[in-house]
Chains A and B, each alone.
Chain A
């Protein structure tokens, strides 16, 4: 029963814009790129920005618009290297250089596409390359093309709520879904400007809520969204905060244990705790500063691979000491 229809692919891929001009919200980027595409003179480009804002999409769209989808042409002109390929220093030195060294002259084979006389190398996820490899790439770009001394940088902004909504509504219309206003704003809140994540949630919900029945015009509520997104319910965070305020260590320990056992991601609970602390009105600025400091430290430790339970407990202890005006440093004299 396993085989799936070939058309049933993730919506993220299905609705990936095929043309540069369709990329949402990155107006400046799109404007500049449309220009370059018309003149077909392409500088080196560096795209950067948070996940799910359309970087890879844009890069692929440029390649497609320049060379079309004919595999034989595309293959000889576009080299896509992403983090799933080994990109140590040797690979960058040999593979990219070999690829770039073969000159392509004839721009005759048009086929409806501009097909300019140069090649494109897409280095996706360049920030995860090894440092050596990045350095050698840098040198290489000087050697091969001394004129284009550096990349044109394009910053991709996190998507604003309106753009996100319009994109999501478009997909909903295509797929026959109903989203009310509340659900829509919840969706953009939990995905925080990451369109890919929003679409993934949407597709998952379409299935979990509605099942196999393809009912057109069925709707999704914001409650469903929260349950699927793994956002921590506000009362859980509040409970931890209240426990810290009480100054009872064992109570706080119990709440921490509860959060861990419920499986909530600790990094997320830190940022939600942060929201609670910032909005609280009866805490002095100094106390808030103390709490923020320990939240920041814990976040860093988590990135370094620290244990979730111990970090959260430590944060709880810090928060408690800040709220109950206990000294920040331990006293070893006594």
Chain B
């Protein structure tokens, strides 16, 4: 088991980073009633961990017994039937799914499947009526139509169902949905917090940490706890006992982007452009999203350029990143 999963806090009490939020969430569900929730924050900040811990708080250990299913639905859309396939993760009390995975047909998922799930009310052993929780991932990637479709569902079936939405950027979630949820902002952990967690893991694993080593990992992690723990484990595999100046291996693709940036800086000719093009294709064929490539490339270039050009480069980065996402939309 990876350390990331092994040391994922299981309950709200064990949470090490967002203790104040965890405490508030705990209070929020004490009366066995909670509003719809919208978690947002950068990746690796602990949204999912908090959601799982929250579910456990509400439903008890049963929430951890999940089964993964690849379900297919046939949806009757007037003149034709649409086949949809989606992976769901469900326990007795909750269902988790990423409706945006089906691409442009996501609104059928929302209109048919989620509505169906929300309508049905679970009954527990004592015969009392309970409520269930639907966890929707990546709501910011949902199409406008699908988001609009959620609006009334959230109100109409609020007696039997609570939605927990999870996304990276809340700007992409429409106002109407945000106004129906309690918004929970999860900030990225600070470097000091990451160091604390790394030291905790090191102690549990019985490792000797040279001073400043955890701090260096934290610095490289870009404030993503997941990434910090992953590279910590990589270091452990590569060389143990740790030495003070042990290199922290960067990700392959980041190395590659850095190479591209140096290429661009060295020579500006049609021939070089052709080479860079080839390298960019290489990244794309390895499934690195263009937006991420562009951000990293910007980061690398910003390190190397002088002040005047920085304005220009960030202008074009913003311009082409937008063009990319708009194109994706049309292609879908």
Contact = CB atoms under 8 A, between A and B. Distances in A.
B272 interface: no
A322 B216 CA distance: 37
Interface in B93-150: 93, 108, 110-112, 115, 124, 126, 128-131, 144-145, 148-150
A86 interface: yes
Contact of B172 (A56, A229, A305): A305
B169 A249 contact: no
A330 interface: yes
A263 B158 CA distance: 27
A211 B30 contact: yes
B2 interface: no
Contacts of B77: 86, 88
Nearest to B303: A250
B149 A83 contact: yes
B180 A196 contact: yes
A21 interface: no
B179 A51 contact: yes
A39 interface: no
Contact of A261 (B223, B311, B317): B223
A1 B42 contact: no
A255 interface: no
B181 interface: yes
A179 B156 CA distance: 29
Contacts of A4: 31-33, 130-131
B42 A263 contact: yes
Given A200-B35, A262-B187, A307-B295, A84 B78 contact: no
A211 B295 CA distance: 42
A317 interface: yes
A230 B321 CA distance: 27
A267 B173 CA distance: 11
A180 interface: no
A250 B115 CA distance: 48
A264 B41 CA distance: 8
Contact of A2 (B32, B148, B171): B32
Interface stretch (A102-110, A201-209, A272-280): A201-209
Interface residues of B, number: 79
A305 B174 CA distance: 11
Interface string B49-65: 00000000011100000
Contact of B321 (A2, A52, A310): A310
Contacts of A203: 35
Interface string B139-171: 000001100111111011011000000000111
Contact of B151 (A10, A82, A204, A304): A82
Nearest to A211: B27
Interface in B292-332: 294-295, 298, 302, 307, 310-312, 314-315, 317-318, 321-322, 325-326, 329
Contacts of B150: 83-84
Interface residues of A, number: 71
A200 to B, nearest CB: 6
B329 A305 contact: yes
A260 interface: yes
Contacts of A268: 171
Contacts of A317: 310-311, 314-315
A314 B314 contact: yes
Interface in A109-157: 124-125, 128
B129 A267 contact: no
A237 interface: no
Contacts of B79: 90
A91 interface: yes
A209 B23 CA distance: 10
Given A9-B158, A311-B318, A197 B27 contact: no
B40 interface: yes
Interface in A291-313: 301-302, 304-311, 313
A266 B314 contact: no
The 4 closest A-B pairs by CB, nearest first: A128-B148, A263-B41, A82-B152, A3-B130
Interface of B: 24, 27-28, 30-36, 40-42, 45, 58-60, 77-79, 93, 108, 110-112, 115, 124, 126, 128-131, 144-145, 148-153, 155-156, 158-159, 169-172, 175-176, 178-183, 185-188, 223, 291, 294-295, 298, 302, 307, 310-312, 314-315, 317-318, 321-322, 325-326, 329
28 contacts: A1-B32, A1-B60, A2-B93, A4-B130, A8-B33, A82-B152, A83-B150, A83-B151, A84-B115, A84-B152, A88-B78, A125-B151, A125-B152, A196-B179, A197-B179, A204-B28, A207-B28, A211-B27, A212-B30, A230-B170, A248-B307, A263-B188, A265-B171, A307-B291, A307-B325, A308-B171, A310-B322, A311-B322
